[in-house]
């Protein structure tokens, strides 16, 4: 990858500004992709015009754009899990038991829990989901599997999920088209 002197200087200034902002305000992370300590090699690479290493700080960028169909699919899956969890919460105690809950474990609740997409193998799905959930703050009522203070809604399943979600979505669309309310039997079939 080649950068013109202007592009190189502009990018160098951006990294220096990020470093300065982080240095001024402790605990603030101004750079989404880098830890402030990681900026120094990028600054040196740009300053010395080492074109062979430019790729290292562009690695986080996707080479291709994400197709619209993936964004629509991810949003549809999130809507399905949003509705599924909502209907689960409104089940009677007897229905929840039929759905898989016991006094000791909430297996039914686990069935309508959203695990996300594989961050390694389903990258486009994962990154789209992360944007929708964590940046755009959509679908707050979905029951997310991974929650922590650092990552309130971690959507990396660490396992392939697209195939499962496609099957679930096909069933969901079949039922959703005929009624706004999902029955216990439909929930069991979908999830």
DSSP state of 64: S
Q: What Rg, from alpha-carbon coordinates, does the chain have?
A: 22
For the full predicted model, state whether its pTM sits above 0.85: no
Residue ranges covered by each domain of the chain: 5-57, 68-190
- Other beta carbons within 10 angstroms of residue 78's beta carbon come to 20
State the alpha helices, DSSP H only, in 25-67.
39-47
pLDDT at residue number 19? 76
The CATH code belonging to domain 68-190 is 1.10.3190.10
pLDDT in tens, 48-85: 888 888 777 676 566 667 899 999 999 999 999 999 99
For tokens 């990681």, what's the residue? 38
């Amino acid at each position: 990858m080649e950068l013109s002197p202007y592009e190189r200087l502009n990018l160098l200034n951006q990294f220096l500004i990020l470093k300065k902002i982080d240095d001024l305000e402790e605990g603030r992370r101004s750079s989404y992709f880098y830890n402030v300590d990681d900026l120094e090699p990028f600054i040196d690479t740009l300053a010395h015009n080492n074109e062979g290493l430019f790729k290292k700080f562009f690695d986080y960028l996707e080479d291709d754009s994400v197709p619209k169909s993936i964004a629509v699919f991810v949003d549809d899956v999130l809507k399905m899990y949003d509705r599924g969890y909502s209907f689960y919460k409104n089940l009677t105690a007897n229905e929840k038991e039929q759905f898989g809950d016991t006094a000791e474990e909430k297996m039914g609740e686990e069935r309508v829990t959203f695990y996300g997409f594989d961050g390694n193998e389903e990258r486009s799905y994962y990154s789209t989901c992360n944007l929708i959930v964590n940046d755009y703050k959509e679908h707050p009522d979905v029951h997310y599997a991974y929650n922590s203070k650092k990552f309130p809604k971690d959507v990396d399943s660490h396992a392939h999920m697209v195939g499962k979600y496609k099957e679930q979505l096909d069933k969901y669309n079949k039922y959703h088209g005929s009624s706004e309310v999902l029955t216990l039997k439909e929930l069991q079939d979908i999830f």
